[in-house]
Structure 1
């Protein structure tokens, strides 16, 4: 099983409030004028992008991303969100689903007219082209919205903070633009990576168990013998300090 199954494009689309039945071509997005000449400005410490949530595609990416991650911007424009997720650190990817759930819970609990004033920030480890990991501070805000209040265009600014990171937990901060023009912190959560000792196979077993598969079914899907799956389940329970698999799943889902 691929770790991307934990946070697929469809899952992100659903978390953002879009129905799988939505006809993306019929979604009206208010016009927003992107100043490409400013957006493409070179920087040695970060890169910028614009993401369209209605069709899950990047519509712009600064060329400075190559200085930070080593990838050409066209890789993101052509391969999209699936490629972006594929280079997220496996441990961070496991936490990313709950981070987005919290972001959009806050977003949808904010009045429509205030949503454009929100800024979302969190740190994330990204695998660079040379296979090293770069820690970025990802800050974003929504530029435009669909007629019924769903997020449309998101402006993303990423800064390389690798040299400043001392822990591997993910900190989500949500700020709101005040009438005086200052962003004020209004929500903060730390997402612990206490389960980072789980192996890749254990994380695969855990995710399938979370979806309701039995040990026998997991063994078939992962081409393992059932005793190996049972052993992985025992290790997951022990490493998370839980009494059973359900408790282990609930504990990780709350991170």
Structure 2
């Protein structure tokens, strides 16, 4: 997976340009996480991840990742986000684009002063070092923001829930945490990206995959070229993709070659 794809999952280009000041961590690990690592070292089912949201790199991985995924924290830290995303089940990775798009939508609709109080729970399948897939519940907060509310740090607790979850459905649940407790504010069932598109949009994507231009698609479907262009624009919006090639990967996976 390319760096551009990783960036598109985590943060759109216009958001990545946010001023980060001196608060973006430059080292491989940040000392603020050492105590958390001691707590999590003996955990059999959970591990912590810290991601620099601007640089798109891990800044912390707890040693307990060895107990859950079979990789040492040193290896995972060095392998980086490219490797981490490659370990996610291909079908779930496609849905992760949809999940992240919803996370960002709620995040930016929330007043700046409340964004640190949001918690996002999502699940996906990830491949262990032994090749076996397990179900992970990822609970994410954004504890470090710029003055204008842009995320600097993505901090997640990842828990193996395979013992309790027997199906492969994906959900996103969003909570608001305050002094009164934790309140659920949103819940989504994450569909396959292909089902996010309308029947007409899926049809257009199939024709694009066959190598047709917008003019050719318009002629075949007996619609205007402008209508085709509008559909293509909405396809990018619905899938969260930056271009048609990425939308093809998100929608169809490996069923079609890039166009």
TM-score calculated relative to the size of structure 1: 0.70
Q: CA deviation at 1:215?
A: 1.6
Would you say the 8 A contact 2:49–2:157 is kept in 1? yes
Query: Residue 29 and residue 170 in structure 1: after superposition, are their counterparts in 2 closer, same or farther (change >3 A)?
Result: farther
**Does 1:18 find its partner at 2:15?**
yes
Question: What does the per-residue CA deviation read over 1:97-152, in whole Å, with 9 as the maximum and x for residues that have no partner?
Answer: 01000000000000001000000001110001111001011001111012331111
1:102-141 maps to which residues of 2 (within 5 A)? 102-141=102-141
1:8 aligns with 2:5: yes
What RMSD, in angstroms, separates the aligned Cα atoms of the two structures?
Answer: 3.4
CA contact (8 A) 1:171 1:188 kept: yes
Alignment of 1:32-181 (within 5 A): 34-41=32-39, 42=41, 43-180=43-180
Alpha carbons of 1:35 and 1:90: their partners in 2 closer, same or farther (altered >3 Å)?
A: closer
Q: How many correspondences in the alignment? A: 207
Unaligned stretches of 5+ residues in structure 2:
25-29, 196-201, 213-230, 241-250, 252-259
SS in 1 for 2:145: coil
SS of residue paired to 2:50? strand
Further displaced range: 108-117 or 32-41: 32-41
Unaligned ranges ≥5, structure 1 = 197-205, 218-244
In the alignment, the residues of structure 1 paired with residue 6 and residue 122 of structure 2 have an alpha-carbon distance, to the nearest angstrom, of 20
CA shift for structure 1 position 216: 3.5
Q: 1:155 to 1:16 in 2, by over 3 A?
A: farther
Contact 1:47 1:63 (8 Å CA) reproduced = yes
Q: Contact 2:3/2:82 (CA < 8 Å) preserved in 1?
A: no
Partner of 1:27: 20
- Match of 1:94, SS state, is helix
The runs of at least 4 consecutive aligned structure 1 residues that moved more than 2 Å come to 4-7, 12-19, 29-33, 37-41, 192-196, 252-255
Cα gap change, 1:16 to 1:102, in 2 (>3 Å): farther
Query: Which residue in the other structure is 1:215 paired with?
Result: 210
Distance in 2 (CA, whole Å) between partners of 1:96 and 1:58 is 18
Is the CA contact (8 Å cut-off) linking 1:169 and 1:193 kept in structure 2? Answer: no
Alignment partners' CA distance in 1, 2:22 and 2:91: 34
Cα deviation code 1:151-207 (max 9, x no counterpart): 111211011100111221111000001332x111001001134969xxxxxxxxx8x
Bigger drift between 32-41 and 54-63 goes to: 32-41
Give me the whole-angstrom Cα distance separating, in 1, the residues matched to 2:209 and 2:137: 38
TM-superposed deviation, 1:37? 2.4
